[in-house]
Structure 1
Amino acid sequence: MFKPHSLSLFLAAATLAGCQAVNTTSSGAVGVDRKQYMFSMLSTDQVNQMYAQSYQQTVSEAKNKGVLENNSPVAQRVNRIASRLIAEVKTFRPDAAQWDWDVNVIDSPELNANAGPGGKIIFYTGLIEKLKLTDDEIAAVMGHEIAHALREHGREAMSKAYGVQMATQIGSAVGIGNGSLQLANMGVQYLMTLPNSRSNENEADLIGLELAARAGYNPNAAVTLWQKMAAAGGSAPPEFLSTHPSSGSRTQALQENIPKVMPLYKQGR
């Protein structure tokens, strides 16, 4: 029978087994250099392929509904901004310049946008039109989302989820009680998932800030973007904020890092 300290050691070993410490990107001027733990059996290519299938399904559904924007002014605007940002990804990750980047705009009132693994970008017109986003603010959103893809935050989250599942399965096999398993799962969630989630958001903010600046977009727009997001929320936050929590500390961190990237912005103009 496991003693408490033995249970902790066992679960730690089970959760981290098969993991490798990596740093998916260069640190850049903003200094993002956290080591990430990824399951070696869950490769970058596998995650990219899985997401590509989901992305294509979303695009196909939008096309069938007649809401996929191709040559509209807003689509041309988004694609122009994306091209400038994608040209700068090599600063953080040289191999990303060879990704099969794809950008689509969907005519929908949703206040949402995302850039998934492998460089698949979707923007919803509602985000741009309802918040009256400037080009600089669109670049701030897109830079943030591209940063998530560059850092492989999706693969990192999947690796953690797999670790929790593996620890649970192994624990069940050796007879750890349900109460202990629930406690262990809660511990893994709070010790691994939540702190990294906050770290991931901060990393995406900072890398996105630098990407936009290098592409010639004013980094101060990152602050006005989140202010607009917060104002649009009211009692029901926009969908974008459901996975990208806003806070005063986020705005403060952006403001503190703007001086680091302002010279890059002036060079890129």
Structure 2
Amino acid sequence: MNVKHLAKASGLALILALGLAACTTTTQQGATGVSRQQLLLVSSSEVEAMAAQSYQEELTKATSKRALNTDKANLERIRQIADRLIPQVGTFRSDALAWRWEVNLETRDELNAYCAPGGKIMFFTGIINKLKLTDDEIAAIMGHEIAHALREHGRERVSQAYAQNAGLSLVGALTGMSQGTSTLLQQAAQIGLTLPNGRGQESEADIIGLELLARAGYNPNASVTLWQKMAAATGNSSGSFLSTHPGNAQRINDLQAAIPKVMPLYQQARRSPAPSRAIVPRT
């Protein structure tokens, strides 16, 4: 093997070694036992900073359209639900209790909601009004979205994109080309934070979200009725809420199989409801 090929092979081996060293899991298993090693090459702080900037841009845009937090009744609904869900995140990761949580509502017809890294939640009025959601069903959506943030799925996607770009950059450098790390990270963020969640990520968010809503005293069966409503509204396709996989039918089957695990948590929460107090800032 000549020196050039040796350097290339050594560089690729180094990327592989760094990738293996960066494999960890972001959450505790909880009652439902979700556990998977994740590739996390970029820091939480970097991803949260990028997500916070994007979230603020969304708020500014909605404000300019006079579409931010104008539906006061539904805004208070989702904030009260968040006040019950957020205290449960410590089951999966205690540091998330200290996140600067924020919940806002945009007047927009899309069937969509999300929780950005670091606890920035946005609901669109379309998903509440068009699906005629109950509080339990809103909690099912919010729990799912919070679960994405707890598992740092956005950070995971950025890391995957970064690893791929870094590998390509290293090959290029060894053949005479180069590219800066900051450029790689920026490109990875643009890809990773806009890509839909993968099948495994969606399934994890479904199950962790199910446990969150049960611990908060919301009926776990609402996760099933939510997806039944979503299937009816979208013709059994995905709609704009979440990704196209797993399909609605598979989601419902998986949730129904997991409900018995969390039903005792729901029953316990109903017997001993937590004191009501504001967790999310009111503005």
TM-score per shorter chain, which class?
0.7 to 0.9
Partner secondary structure for residue 198 of structure 2: helix
Equivalent residue runs for 1:84-95 within 5 Å: 84-95=84-95
1:171: Cα distance to partner?
A: 2.2
- Measured in 1, the distance between the counterparts of 2:13 and 2:240 equals 34
Q: State the shift of 1:13 in Å.
A: 4.8
Contact 1:30/1:207 (8 A) holds in 2? yes
Which residue in the other structure is 1:179 paired with?
A: none
Structure 1 CA distance for aligned equivalents of residues 17 and 109 of structure 2: 42
Q: Secondary structure at the match of 1:33?
A: coil
**How many aligned residue pairs are there?**
246
| Structure-2 change in CA distance of 1:243 and 1:80 (3 Å) | farther
Q: Give 1:20 shift.
A: 1.3
Stretches of structure 1 that go unaligned for 5 or more consecutive residues are 176-193
Q: Is the 8 A contact 1:23 1:36 kept in 2?
A: yes
TM-score, normalization by structure 2: 0.80
* Aligned counterparts of 1:12 and 1:126: Cα–Cα separation in 2: 49
Q: Letter of the aligned partner of 1:227 in structure 2?
A: Q
C-alpha RMSD of the superposition: 2.5
Structure 2 Cα separation of the partners of residues 85 and 225 of structure 1:
17
The alpha-carbon deviation at position 117 of structure 1 amounts to 0.3
Q: Secondary structure of 2:211's match?
A: helix
% of aligned pairs identical? 55
Structure 1 residues 245 and 60, CA gap change in structure 2 (3 angstroms) = farther
Amino acid at match of 2:135: D
Query: Taking structure 1 as reference, are residues 52 and 46 closer, same or farther at Cα in structure 2, changes over 3 Å only?
Result: same
SS in structure 2 of the partner of residue 17 of structure 1:
helix
Matched residue, 1:149: 149
Per-residue deviation, 1:229: 1.2
Residue segments in structure 2 that go unaligned for 5+ positions in a row: 3-7, 176-194, 271-283
Aligned runs of 1:137-176 on 2, under 5 Å? 137-175=137-175
Structure 1 residues 101 and 72: alpha-carbon distance in aligned structure 2, compared to 1, 3 A threshold = same
Q: 1:20 aligns with which of 5, 22, 25?
A: 22
What SS does the aligned partner of 2:22 have?
strand
Residue in structure 2 matched with residue 109 of structure 1 by the alignment: 109
TM (norm. structure 1) is 0.84
1:20–1:38: 8 Å Cα contact kept in structure 2?
yes
* Inter-CA distance 268–60: structure 2 relative to 1 (3 Å threshold): same
- 1:207-222 matches, cutoff 5 A: 207-222=208-223
Number of the residue aligned with 1:36 = 38
